[in-house]
Amino acid sequence: MAPKLEWAVVSVTFAGAFLLWEVRGRAPRAEDIVHAPITLVPTDAHELACALEQQVDRYSCAFVRDEEASGASEANTLIPVLTTDRTPFLIPGLFAEAAIRGHLTTAPPRQRFTADCELKLVKRVDAYGVRFRTGDPWGSAGPAWVAVPVSCHVQ
């Protein structure tokens, strides 16, 4: 192989490796699209709640603090969820997603399922209150990304 061609191959290989390192090695940031297999049960649609004093863009938790409601619309209410690997997200309008909404009408109330979603990251929240059932005490959670569903399907 000619020396110029060898250097061209080495340069292209190095550039490709650098790009792969940059994409795979960096921390997530706003506007990124991420894959999130979210674990749910049908009763979560009425039980999950979070508390957060500030809005994130136009999104709010159902509560500002403990039992003080935020007044956010259903579409803009953040839902605290966990992925199958226990990564937390705060997702507005999750139960309005067609695949999830359809599954909720046919699944037994306590049957766990996975919603396989692509999410667009909005902003990372360091701390928030969370409860998994109405009437349960509030717990502390965070950090988590506020993320908007791009697409979801149920497995």
Per residue in 47-92, pLDDT (tens digit) is 999 999 999 999 999 999 878 889 889 999 999 999 999 999 999 9
Contacts of 52 (CB under 8 A, 6+ apart): 60, 61, 63, 64, 78, 90, 125, 128, 129
pLDDT at residue number 26: 83
C-beta separation of 143 from 115 below 8 A: no
pLDDT above 60 (res 42)? yes
Query: Lowest-confidence range among 2-6, 62-66, 96-100, 129-133?
Result: 2-6
The answer on pLDDT for 101 being more than 50 is yes
pLDDT value of position 116: 97
What is the length of the chain? 155
Enumerate the domain spans of the chain: 29-154
Structure confidence at residue 6 (pLDDT): 55
In the predicted model, is pLDDT for residue 1 greater than 80?
A: no
Per-residue pLDDT reduced to its tens digit, 107-134: 898 899 999 999 999 999 999 999 999 9
**DSSP labels, 88-129:** EEEEETGGGSHHHHHHHHHS-TT--EEEEEEEEEEEEES-EE
92 within 8 A of 79, measured Cβ to Cβ: yes
0.85 exceeded by pTM: no
Q: Would you state the pLDDT for residue 68?
A: 87
Q: Is residue 20 pLDDT above 80, yes or no?
A: no
What pLDDT score was predicted for residue 9?
Answer: 44
